[in-house]
């Protein structure tokens, strides 16, 4: 499937509008474009919209996160009838609102998971440092103990030293 640029689509639409003895179907076949697609482009072109505007039920309207949040907040307390009316006024579908809500919830959970993971990583690093420090101190304590034991044994064998 090839994708046409906006300019190429405009050229095809203008050919269809300025056709002489060709039908719309022939122009669509020549350019390897579906007939219904060409009719939609012509309809959007005449309405002054972007040619590729797609208002099919499966299409997604690209809104910013703040706009999505505004729509979600505006529809939170509406019943089904008023929700349908709101969606028609704003060119939305109710499934899009649910999808946006799920995305916000998932994003929040992902942020919480990332925060928890970073905290766990920091605690593990701190734990590792504390274990290393504890091991170092244990070695130093063992060495000191060994020296004291040797000193006592030396004192028992050779007697008390007077220079201390």
Report the 10 Å Cβ neighbour count for 93.
16
The reply to whether 17 falls in a domain is yes
Is 103 inside any structural domain?
A: no
Report yes or no on 32 lying in a domain: yes
Mean pLDDT, residues 104-129 taken together:
89
Report if residue 26 sits inside a domain: yes
The CATH number that applies at residue 39 is 1.10.10
Closest CA to 70 of 85, 90, 53, 95: 90
Predicted pLDDT of residue 53: 54
Per residue in 117-138, pLDDT (tens digit) is: 999 999 999 999 999 999 999 9
What does the pLDDT read at residue 93?
A: 84
The answer to the question of residue 59 being in a domain is no
When pLDDT is cut at 50, 70 and 90, the band that residue 9 belongs to is confident
Q: Which residue range(s) make up the domain with 5?
A: 1-53
Rounded to whole angstroms, the Cα distance separating 127 from 130 reads 5
Task: Specify if 102 maps to a domain.
Answer: no
Judge whether 85 lies within some domain. Answer: no
Reduce the DSSP state of residue 164 to 3 states and report it.
Answer: coil
Cβ neighbour number for residue 41 with a 10 Å cutoff: 23
Find the distance separating the first CA and the last CA of the chain, reported in whole Å: 95
Residue 33 CB burial class (10 angstroms; 0-12, 13-18, ≥19): middle
CA–CA gap between residue 7 and residue 3 (Å, rounded)? 12
Quick: pLDDT tens for 19-59: 878 888 888 888 888 888 888 888 888 887 766 655 444 44
Mean pLDDT of 85-109: 84
Kindly state whether residue 15 falls inside one of the protein's structural domains: yes
Render pLDDT for 72-89 as a digit per residue (tens, 0 to 9): 889 988 888 888 888 888
Domains held by the chain: number: 1
């Amino acid at each position: 499937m090839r994708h046409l640029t906006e300019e190429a689509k405009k050229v095809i639409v203008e050919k269809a509008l300025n056709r002489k003895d060709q039908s719309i179907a022939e122009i669509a076949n020549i350019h390897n474009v579906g007939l219904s697609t060409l009719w939609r482009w012509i309809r959007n072109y005449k309405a002054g919209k972007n040619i590729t505007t797609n208002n099919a039920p499966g299409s997604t309207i690209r809104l910013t996160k703040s706009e999505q949040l505004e729509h979600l907040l505006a529809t939170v307390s509406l019943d089904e009838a008023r929700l349908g009316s709101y969606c028609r006024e704003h060119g939305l579908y109710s499934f899009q609102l649910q999808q946006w809500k799920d995305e916000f919830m998932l994003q929040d959970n992902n942020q919480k998971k990332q925060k928890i993971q970073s905290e766990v990583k920091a605690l593990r690093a701190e734990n590792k440092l504390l274990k290393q420090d504890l091991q170092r101190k244990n070695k130093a304590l063992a060495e000191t103990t060994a020296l004291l034991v040797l000193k006592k044994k030396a004192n028992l064998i050779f007697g008390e030293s007077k220079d201390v």
